[in-house]
Amino acid sequence: MRAKPSIYLFLLPGGLIFLIFFVVPTIYGLSLSFTNWDGLSPQLQFIGFANYAHLLTDDSSFHTAIGNTLKFVLTVVIIQSTLSLILAIYLLKNTKVNIFLRTLYFFPTILSSVSVAFIWMFIYDSNIGILNTLLGDVGLQSLQASWLGDQRMAIYCIAATEIWAHTGQLLIIYLAGLQQIPHELYEVAMLEGASRWQTFRKVTWPLLAPATTIVVAYTTIQSFRMFDLIFAMTDGGPGNSTEVLATYIYHQAFQYNHVGYASAVSMLFMVIIALITMAQFGLLRFRSLKSA
């Protein structure tokens, strides 16, 4: 039975939104990436692939931003995914205590990134911050530090903030995946004398493949796109130790008025995220077929 042509009218609103807010800006940004426009001049000078050649070969700040982005992404993805899975396993039963803890862990997710940033800036403050105060109270003054002022640890401190803010959100995804696993499989594993680790490795982990890939894909993409938390906490500092690709694009466009160059970085950034998304969903499909 062929669909009536009028049914395609329902696609029109979504198609227009996609066209206006994604396709047109992407094409415009791509065209700007081949210019040296400063965002103010009425005329644009075409310079070909000069922006791309410079950022790939000569721009050390861009390379630093990529390195910082990878540090942030790997730290958040590994720790946040692992922690949310562990919490989901221990909070699986629908007891009153577990329901309360799920709500407690999910609460930071509803806060705005700027609010989270100000909360943790106070915690990390080297003079009156809660973290240094607690370390001093328990006699661990040697561990006190200028957490956001140290170029070696600042990016990891922001990563810890991101983990605190969104672990509860991923916990819910894992809970949904765990609740879909038939209880009979655990009974069979128990009758076979499997240990808890063997049960997890042979039953839980394979059947959590779709949930795990969604969690990893979502966390990876969100970490690559991270801007507001880093901008509010350090603005890329100290030095450029927390400068990631998103903040680098912002600074190039609005601080240095290198709009054409920032557009080139944005296009490359979009390609990176697109490739990661395709790889993640390809992995999701492969693992889903393998576990079926």
Closest by CA to 276, choosing from 113, 85, 109, 74, is 74
Q: What is the pLDDT of residue 75?
A: 96
Contacts of 290 (CB under 8 A, 6+ apart): 206, 209
Q: What is the pLDDT of residue 288?
A: 60
Q: What is the pLDDT of residue 275?
A: 87
Residue 2 pLDDT grade (very low, low, confident, very high; cuts 50, 70, 90) = low
Q: CA-to-CA distance for 126 and 203, rounded, in angstroms?
A: 46
In tens, the pLDDT along 275-290 reads: 887 887 777 667 666 6
Q: What is the pLDDT of residue 19?
A: 93
Q: Which of 68-72, 266-270, 283-287 has the lowest mean pLDDT?
A: 283-287
CATH number of 59-291: 1.10.3720.10
CB atoms within 10 A of CB 250: 16
Residue 209 pLDDT grade (very low, low, confident, very high; cuts 50, 70, 90) = confident
Instruction: Please check whether residue 161 is in contact with residue 233, taking contact to mean a CB–CB distance below 8 angstroms.
Output: yes
Question: What tokens does 160 get?
Answer: 């810890």
Give phi and psi for 49, each to the nearest 5. Answer: -95, 20
Residue 2 or 207, more confident: 207
Query: Considering the entire predicted model, what is its pTM?
Result: 0.89
Residue ranges per structural domain of the chain: 59-291
Q: Which of 85-99, 138-152, 224-238, 265-279 has the lowest mean pLDDT?
A: 265-279
Mean pLDDT, to the nearest integer, of 18-24? 92
In tens, the pLDDT along 112-160 reads: 999 999 999 999 998 889 999 999 999 999 999 999 999 999 999 999 9
